[in-house]
Amino acid sequence: MTLCAIVAMASNRCIGRDNALPWRLPEDLKRFKRLTLGHTLIMGRKTYESIGRPLPGRRTLVVTHQRGWAVPEGVHVAHSLDEALEQAGGGEVFIAGGAQLYAQAMERVRRLYLTRIERAYEGDTFFPEVDLSGWRLSAEEHHAATDTTPPFAFLTYER
């Protein structure tokens, strides 16, 4: 198994506000779909609820501490990151949020798919501080601002 994290993050590390993304970036959603199709996604309950449904073509594992959580059809539940990783199987497995799950998983993550938005956003959820000095930047693709989107970059880090 290759444990990956996939995240869109503003320049101030903001990843969410009121259980939603504070920006609209269609290119990032397309990249997320392209990278995660056919793989397992591990996400926290709040992240799952912000999406509202299992994503087609992917196995969805939701980590929750709520033992009585009503499990939606097509979703698998784990009560810890370790339990989720045991259930995940092989290939690329993606940590898809939220902040607590990223914080728990980052020391085990081998590949980070980062969309870095070159603007600060107000938010209530932030990606943990990660020291990238031990990581290698293996891919980068920069996008200029448009009338509807801020400048952003797709970055892939590996270790």
- Tell me: the pLDDT tens digits for 38-92? 999 999 999 999 999 999 999 999 999 998 888 888 999 999 999 999 999 889 9
- The whole-model pTM stands at 0.96
Which residue(s) pair with 62 in the sheet? 43, 77
CATH of the domain at 116: 3.40.430.10
Q: Which residues of 88-101 are buried (b: 16+ CB within 10 A; e: fewer)?
A: beeebbbbbbbbbb
Return the amino acid letter for 60.
Answer: T
Q: Which domain holds residue 29?
A: 2-158
Please count the structural domains in the chain: 1
CA distance 53 to 55: 6
Q: What per-residue string of b and e applies to 21-34 under the rule 16 or more CB within 10 Å gives b?
A: bbbebeebeebbee
Q: What is the pLDDT of residues 83-126, one digit of tens each?
A: 999 999 889 999 999 999 999 999 999 999 999 999 999 999 99
Q: Are the CB atoms for 49 and 97 separated by under 8 Å? A: no
Instruction: Name the burial class of residue 10, with classes exposed (0-12), middle (13-18) and buried (19+) by CB atoms within 10 angstroms of its CB.
Output: buried
